[in-house]
Amino acid sequence: MDMLSMTGFGTGEGSAGPVTITAEFRSVNHRFLDVSLKLPSLLAAFEPDVRSFLKDNIARGRVTVSVQVEVDRAAAASGADPERLAQGIRMVQTAAAELARATGEPAESVKLKHLLMLPDLFRVEEPDLDPEDARAALMMSLAGAARGLHEMKKAEGSALVAEMLGRLDTVEAKLAEVRGLAPLAAAEIQRKLNERLEKLLSEPLEPQRLAQEVALLADRSNINEECERLGIHIRHFRAAFTEGGQVAKRINFLLQEMHREVNTMGSKTNLMDITQAVIVMKDEVESLREQIQNLE
């Protein structure tokens, strides 16, 4: 099963008629699907379509969607605006006549260079935007961006899973060390128990109290159950990557349980070698808990 990271980037382009649309997706970690959408005004009417597409194609993450639209203006009506041209001629003629009266010099005839100096003399009409062309180009661009995003998220996810499994290997190796050291831990606890008993025997001894002390110390010293449960969680962790379903949610739960078992191991024994192994396992589990948050 392919695991997807929530971090990724993808672009896509679509064309239909005179319309070319480019879409860009950027995704980062987020618990739910959170979309930030930037659509040009020409495509504002298609916002529901875009959001529906994103909901159907992206499970989780904070996704920024940017869309750009270009319209081929080659077929657009263009040229000098007749009304503006006539108005400009009158303006230039009037200005020339006023200048002649003021200076007594003959007025210069209206020339093309004078008219070309007029602002807004030429117009370019926007071509009609067919909604079907716009929608077709838009959906094409979204599909391309989604494919690119998926491929990058897949690559990022594969790398992340490989790193997580490497950390899990470390936890498993340290667990094997702890299991091998458990008899030494038991011997250390037995030594402390004997010291405790000697102290108790120097005082008036109640059999019930002695039994309670022995039971309490024995329970505190036994880490076999924690080791067994941690081993089971590790096996379930590996299986989760191949079984499908809500993998990230299941692994997150397993990591919480693993964290609890490792902490309990550390609190039950003071044997230095076990303590050092527990510290490594805690660090790796904490890293795994951070990394799983970035898996979709």
Extents of the domains making up the chain:
8-74+128-154, 78-124, 158-292
pTM of the predicted model as reported, rounded to 2 decimal places: 0.68
22 and 142 in contact (C-beta within 8 Å)?
no
With a cut of 50, say whether residue 182 has pLDDT above it. yes
- pLDDT of 121: 44
Q: Which fold has domain 8-74+128-154?
A: Ribosomal Protein S5; domain 2 (3.30.230)
Q: How many CB atoms lie within 10 A of CB 40?
A: 12
DSSP 43: G
Q: Which CATH class is domain 158-292?
A: mainly alpha
Q: Give 274-287 pLDDT, tens digit per residue.
A: 999 999 999 999 99
Between β-strands 8-16 and 33-38, what pairing exists: parallel, antiparallel or unpaired?
Answer: unpaired
According to DSSP H, which parts of the chain are helical?
47-57, 82-103, 112-116, 131-201, 207-221, 224-243, 247-268, 272-292
- pLDDT of 46: 95
- pLDDT of 244: 67
- pLDDT of 243: 79
- pLDDT of 140: 97
Kindly report the backbone phi and psi dihedral angles of residue 109, in degrees, each rounded to the nearest multiple of 5, phi listed first. -65, 155
With a cut of 50, say whether residue 77 has pLDDT above it. no
